[in-house]
A = this chain, B = another copy of it.
């Protein structure tokens, strides 16, 4: 029987990061990673296979990242906690001292007629499946994307680059509604429309039409859209079967229950990433946030705590970024509505400036920052940024500040480096100006 000090089930962002960190940083010599996939996709890169990259092969995570971990391509079918072993589909039994479950999630398929027709796809992290989608898209004229969250919006934007007639159908009043303020949703929708994408919101898909193969969809309001392909991107459900069958507890958001050390109800088993329950940095309550950046953070925490409790999870803040056309968007922590829903009385402050200086520098674009802070304590709870591509890193400065529990006054003190070709002017640096404005209006 094979065995290892650390066995990791799952080789996507969570499992791979766990193996990487355990091997490279914590010098655990004996690591086995069990994953089903021969090749592993960069999860956030999947939409970009279809337009920007051109092939799934350009979107793979190299196995060299595994360090000295042994890779077993096989399906883990059961965990026996008493014998500390994992059984696999190919009949292997693998012993572990410590086990990390990073079994991920699977796409949710809505219970609507026609969801099983040919050329209806979900967003699976599966090279062969996505290659098949790519082939179908190559021969298609019309595409309906169901779901206007990040995945749906990114797929629509990329597939539009192939010349397809693309329609997004979103049930909520706005695309990206769960992740940012309405104003940003509007900007994103405008960019999609500018690219020639039809955006239908506040409307669901009642049924997918076709005889064997999809040829249209019928919306809740009765409108019918002709289409050759449907991509469903409405969210994911955690893979918890292994954990459940092994008798581990499941949380209220349907992930595997873990404590602040990422330990499940069995002290030798940890769970990380999409399959694990995540709690909010702000409220301490379970939240359905599933992001690669959270998965990797949880992986690092779990590895640190394998043999002794050393590092507590502070909860997920939720830091997102995306790019639609030339509009980059970043959101850290609680946007205004999310903060209100979490019970905070918040105030808002905004600032915009060009992202190079002077504005005549080549490639200069507008970049805006919006701060969300608690009115009474003035604690920073969230931030949004949008405009040029530096939004992708500006949001991480916001995240760093939020993580330290700073007040708006601390933000106004922020010392920044500025350069004509790289950032806004020091006179108008957006994060600082927004904080300054908030302070002055409260003074």
Interface residues of A (CB under 8 A from B): 13, 16-17, 20-21, 24-27, 42, 44-45, 48, 52-53, 58-61, 65, 281, 291-297, 300-301, 304, 310-311, 314, 316-323, 328, 330-332, 357-358, 360-362, 389-397, 399-401, 403-404, 406, 409-410, 412-423, 425-427, 429, 432, 436-437, 439-441, 443
For A403, the chain B residues whose CB sits under 8 A away are: 410, 413-415
A72 to B40, CA, bound (A): 65
B292 touches A48 (CB 8 A): no
Q: A59 to chain B: closest CB distance in Å?
A: 5
For A441, the chain B residues whose CB sits under 8 A away are: 25
A415 touches B293 (CB 8 A): yes
Most B CB contacts (10 A, CB to CB) among A48, A53, A292, A406 go to A48
Known contacts A397-B393, A397-B397; is-contact A42 B425 (Cβ 8 Å): yes
Query: Can you list 18 pairs linking A and B with CB atoms under 8 Å apart?
Result: A17-B427, A24-B437, A27-B440, A42-B357, A45-B357, A53-B360, A293-B416, A293-B429, A297-B415, A297-B426, A311-B413, A319-B415, A321-B419, A332-B417, A389-B421, A390-B393, A391-B422, A399-B417
B361 touches A48 (CB 8 A): yes
Q: A96 to chain B: closest CB distance in Å?
A: 21
A396 to B385, CA, bound (A): 15
Q: A358 to chain B: closest CB distance in Å?
A: 5
B399 touches A414 (CB 8 A): yes
B400 touches A357 (CB 8 A): no
The one of B60, B358, B422 that contacts A393, using a Cβ cutoff of 8 Å: B422
B400 touches A45 (CB 8 A): no
For A59, the chain B residues whose CB sits under 8 A away are: 358, 360
A294 to B427, CA, bound (A): 10
Number of identical monomers bound together in the oligomeric complex: 2
Known contacts A296-B427, A361-B53, A426-B13; is-contact A319 B416 (Cβ 8 Å): yes
Most B CB contacts (10 A, CB to CB) among A295, A358, A409 go to A358
Most B CB contacts (10 A, CB to CB) among A60, A293, A441 go to A293
Most B CB contacts (10 A, CB to CB) among A42, A316, A320, A391 go to A42
A427 touches B13 (CB 8 A): yes
The one of B13, B52, B320, B412 that contacts A300, using a Cβ cutoff of 8 Å: B412
B414 touches A400 (CB 8 A): yes
For A60, the chain B residues whose CB sits under 8 A away are: 358
Most B CB contacts (10 A, CB to CB) among A310, A321, A392 go to A392
Q: A67 to chain B: closest CB distance in Å?
A: 12
Most B CB contacts (10 A, CB to CB) among A311, A394, A397, A427 go to A427
9 nearest interchain CB pairs?
A: A392-B422, A25-B440, A319-B417, A393-B393, A58-B360, A404-B404, A293-B426, A321-B419, A321-B417
Q: Which residue of B lies closest to A421 (CB)?
A: B323
A392 touches B417 (CB 8 A): yes
A418 to B391, CA, bound (A): 11
Q: A216 to chain B: closest CB distance in Å?
A: 32
For A45, the chain B residues whose CB sits under 8 A away are: 357-358, 361, 420
B412 touches A395 (CB 8 A): no
A439 touches B25 (CB 8 A): yes
Known contacts A358-B53, A397-B393; is-contact A420 B319 (Cβ 8 Å): no
For A418, the chain B residues whose CB sits under 8 A away are: 44, 292-293, 321
A426 to B320, CA, bound (A): 11
A410 touches B417 (CB 8 A): no
A58 touches B358 (CB 8 A): yes
Known contacts A42-B358, A52-B362; is-contact A415 B25 (Cβ 8 Å): no
Q: A345 to chain B: closest CB distance in Å?
A: 22
